[in-house]
A = this chain, B = another copy of it.
């Protein structure tokens, strides 16, 4: 497994990729002209030609052509297959070695890197066929070469139909994040494509289209043919157009670097960062991200020296899944196309009293996927915070009407300590006072938040622990389990009576709160994991018991005459139960819904982040009919008064359909079998159910749990949370242990000439890592290995 590939950018090397709008459009001719002219104009700098994959007989190969018609250009081919067909077929029938996409890119990187180290020069990388012609492994070139992010010279098609080919090829490149810096094509006067395209690209895209005379007709005599071509190239290379295009490419190369190198400073002066004390953020600590693909950012590294051959861009594993959003990995072409389709079909259309296909199809998919008989309705908003506010508006109204309270009643949230539901004031008010909100002027915590037992692996053992406040009620805790799956076997544990003391404690607490006059309008939980509040894995049996108690004891919340449950079994009782699955839902923890770990059906469920697979903001708040009915009235103002302009925007909905659908397919196909295997404990006896799993291997979790600097660790689904021991033994925000580990991951390593690192986030004394749902076993292993080394150091 080669190291992750870096994008190709060096100060010393002007590197461009030549894509063709079709085969037979003159790709090699234009590349020869560019190579030859660059070598002449930029003497004594070195000009290099690279054909990564070539098909057809050697003596017809493009590098052969380049070699024949230029003198100071060094042509290279990395892989050559004899049959003159597309590489995927030629490689398939060949006896020669066929590189994986990763190793092909790695080889190109190594080649270009070596070239860059030799001093200033040009590199032209010629592709094969059209932009979507398949590479040796069958993926199309436009997809395969994305991570290199070489700027492109697109060779347009001057033939009949060539306008269409050129524009479509441009769009396929553009939607994969390529920067097409110039279009070149032959002057052909019957179809005049070059005239049309010059205007088109100038007006629409601000891109220069440069045309040159076509080469002379092929001669039967080889000698004559070569002589004509030689003459043609001599003329073409001295054409002003050729000089202009090279100067343009040279300028764009400098501009790209100049801009990248000035971005941190510009951001430092003009951006107001979220959740950041900018007094502590000097410009040089701002990460400049040039692009991202799959699990990796491409980030700028300082590379001083006017002609430096040091790589400016290096891969950086996105260890927070970009603030918990990435499901299918960055820049997944399927997700892009889904977004583009919805944009092209609707743009955005207003949603009040209207419906469009993506919104309805997403609503149906979510209601079905949740497999929760209570949920029948979908409300759309823009992010987890707004979706949580919607959930609260829903629940409070339902509770207030059920219990006959008037509008001036102060209703609170029943929740867990360390809960987090977002940063808008209403969402903040659902959380207890703490670091994240106590200084915010309008914040006013509304409710009561319970202590709870947590789960952690320490010194190789899974333990359910109790915070100090709970120990007086529930004993000292410290119950040990053979595996995490045993902890999650909640029905079995319930049958064994483990929930009884939880139940007693909860009832007692609620009674006291009632006596103090507390009025609650909702039970609001992040099922299984409290994310932003500190990556706490809650004992699932406690959350299950809490929901059960609330539902079975309406008398603890309402007045006596209103406590009888009405309707069918999907009607809420006690309090409306809200599950905030923004972080934990949609396969983050390995399952469609985190509620399934508890075996509990909430009345309201909030979903965002992974919902759109990591592309655009969108949130859905799902609710039961018994909640919905609380807003039905003859008075318009009794409606749920919430809405955003881009409610149920088509792009977000379409992307969510694609993203959720793809994860469902992965689930059904068993794509995570490797993870289930790697995270299972050998010899562990599971009494029922399939157990829980994570992409982080059992050995790795075990290893980390035994480090002296580590207080505890847990891994579930794509999440890994390492609770570091602080120097003085006290965990919390003062601790530097997590920050030290984070810094070690950011320093990264160098493998086979490529530097790469892991970009991670800390929450107080917790360093967490989170993969996307498409992250490969190999990628996880790489990160594990880097982390293991950092912990040993």
A390 to chain B, nearest CB (A): 9
Find the residue from A264, A279, A286, A350 having the highest chain B CB count within 10 A.
A350
Complex contact A274–B635 (CB within 8 A): no
Contact with B along A125-136 (1 / 0, CB 8 A): 000011111100
From B85, B285, B379, B423, A641 is in contact (CB under 8 Å) with B423
Does chain B have a CB within 8 A of A17?
A: no
Complex contact A190–B346 (CB within 8 A): no
Size band of the interface chain A makes with B: 35 or more
Does chain B have a CB within 8 A of A508?
A: no
A616 to chain B: which residues have CB within 8 Å? 348, 616-617, 646, 649, 651-652
Complex contact A164–B354 (CB within 8 A): no
Complex contact A343–B86 (CB within 8 A): no
Complex contact B131–A164 (CB within 8 A): yes
Does chain B have a CB within 8 A of A792?
A: no
From B348, B442, B617, B641, A439 is in contact (CB under 8 Å) with B641
Does chain B have a CB within 8 A of A424?
A: yes
A504 to chain B, nearest CB (A): 31
Does chain B have a CB within 8 A of A495?
A: no
A382 to chain B: which residues have CB within 8 Å? 382-383, 386, 617
The stretch that binds B, out of A44-52, A166-174, A469-477, A587-595, is: A166-174
Give chain A interface residues in 431-486, CB to chain B under 8 Å: 435-442, 446
Contact with B along A167-205 (1 / 0, CB 8 A): 111011011111000000000001110001000000010
Does chain B have a CB within 8 A of A751?
A: no
Q: Which B residue sits closest to A139, measured CB to CB?
A: B200
Complex contact A274–B617 (CB within 8 A): no
Complex contact B617–A349 (CB within 8 A): no
How many Å lie between the Cα of A105 and that of B163 in the bound state?
Answer: 22
Does chain B have a CB within 8 A of A22?
A: yes
A278 to chain B: which residues have CB within 8 Å? 628, 631-632, 639
Complex contact B175–A346 (CB within 8 A): no
Complex contact B347–A614 (CB within 8 A): yes
Complex contact B343–A175 (CB within 8 A): yes
From B85, B330, B359, B621, A346 is in contact (CB under 8 Å) with B330
Contact with B along A383-416 (1 / 0, CB 8 A): 1111001001100110010000001010100000
A761 to chain B, nearest CB (A): 8
Complex contact B325–A336 (CB within 8 A): no
Does chain B have a CB within 8 A of A213?
A: no
A191 to chain B: which residues have CB within 8 Å? 85-86, 89
Given contacts A429-B425, A644-B383, contact A165 B22 (CB under 8 A): yes
Complex contact B636–A378 (CB within 8 A): no
Give chain A interface residues in 417-432, CB to chain B under 8 Å: 422-427, 429
Complex contact A132–B270 (CB within 8 A): no
Given contacts A133-B164, A274-B642, contact A396 B340 (CB under 8 A): no
From B172, B271, B349, A171 is in contact (CB under 8 Å) with B172
Does chain B have a CB within 8 A of A574?
A: no
Does chain B have a CB within 8 A of A332?
A: yes
Given contacts A270-B360, A286-B355, contact A641 B383 (CB under 8 A): no
From B163, B400, B631, A134 is in contact (CB under 8 Å) with B163
From B23, B357, B645, A325 is in contact (CB under 8 Å) with B645
Q: Which B residue sits closest to A409, measured CB to CB?
A: B441
How many Å lie between the Cα of A422 and that of B645 in the bound state?
Answer: 10
A437 to chain B: which residues have CB within 8 Å? 641
Q: Which B residue sits closest to A396, measured CB to CB?
A: B441
Complex contact B643–A435 (CB within 8 A): no
Given contacts A164-B129, A323-B350, A424-B386, contact A360 B274 (CB under 8 A): no
Does chain B have a CB within 8 A of A291?
A: yes
Complex contact A325–B343 (CB within 8 A): no
Give chain A interface residues in 333-387, CB to chain B under 8 Å: 333-337, 339-357, 359-360, 363-364, 367, 376-380, 382-386
From B165, B267, B329, B425, A426 is in contact (CB under 8 Å) with B425
Q: Which B residue sits closest to A375, measured CB to CB?
A: B270
How many Å lie between the Cα of A132 and that of B623 in the bound state?
Answer: 45
Q: Which B residue sits closest to A397, measured CB to CB?
A: B441
A206 to chain B, nearest CB (A): 10
Contact with B along A653-688 (1 / 0, CB 8 A): 000000000000000000000000000000000000
Complex contact B632–A163 (CB within 8 A): no
Complex contact A441–B165 (CB within 8 A): no
A368 to chain B, nearest CB (A): 10
How many Å lie between the Cα of A618 and that of B168 in the bound state?
Answer: 29
A340 to chain B, nearest CB (A): 4
Does chain B have a CB within 8 A of A276?
A: yes
Given contacts A176-B344, A343-B339, contact A130 B165 (CB under 8 A): yes
Q: Which B residue sits closest to A129, measured CB to CB?
A: B161
A639 to chain B: which residues have CB within 8 Å? 275-278
Does chain B have a CB within 8 A of A281?
A: yes
Complex contact B441–A651 (CB within 8 A): no
Complex contact A386–B389 (CB within 8 A): no
Does chain B have a CB within 8 A of A287?
A: yes
Given contacts A86-B160, A349-B289, A349-B330, contact A355 B275 (CB under 8 A): no
A280 to chain B, nearest CB (A): 7
How many Å lie between the Cα of A360 and that of B733 in the bound state?
Answer: 31
Q: Which B residue sits closest to A167, measured CB to CB?
A: B132
Does chain B have a CB within 8 A of A95?
A: no
Complex contact B617–A267 (CB within 8 A): no
Complex contact B275–A177 (CB within 8 A): no
A149 to chain B: which residues have CB within 8 Å? 345
Does chain B have a CB within 8 A of A269?
A: yes
Q: Which B residue sits closest to A619, measured CB to CB?
A: B382
A341 to chain B, nearest CB (A): 5
A163 to chain B: which residues have CB within 8 Å? 86, 129-130, 132-134, 140
How many Å lie between the Cα of A499 and that of B314 in the bound state?
Answer: 60
Complex contact A442–B392 (CB within 8 A): yes
A393 to chain B: which residues have CB within 8 Å? 440-442
Complex contact A288–B355 (CB within 8 A): yes
A459 to chain B, nearest CB (A): 32
Does chain B have a CB within 8 A of A272?
A: yes
Does chain B have a CB within 8 A of A318?
A: yes
How many Å lie between the Cα of A355 and that of B291 in the bound state?
Answer: 11
A364 to chain B: which residues have CB within 8 Å? 266, 270
Complex contact B274–A644 (CB within 8 A): yes
A753 to chain B, nearest CB (A): 25
Q: Which B residue sits closest to A320, measured CB to CB?
A: B350
Given contacts A343-B339, A347-B332, contact A617 B615 (CB under 8 A): no
Q: Could you name 12 residue pairs across A and B whose Cβ atoms are closer than 8 Å? A: A89-B192, A177-B344, A275-B643, A281-B353, A287-B355, A330-B347, A331-B343, A383-B646, A389-B425, A409-B441, A411-B442, A423-B643
Smallest CB-CB A-B distances: 7 pairs: A130-B164, A274-B643, A177-B345, A425-B426, A23-B161, A175-B340, A177-B344
Given pairs A140-B167, A386-B423, 10 additional interface contacts (CB within 8 A): A85-B191, A129-B161, A164-B169, A171-B175, A177-B341, A177-B345, A270-B377, A286-B353, A347-B615, A409-B441
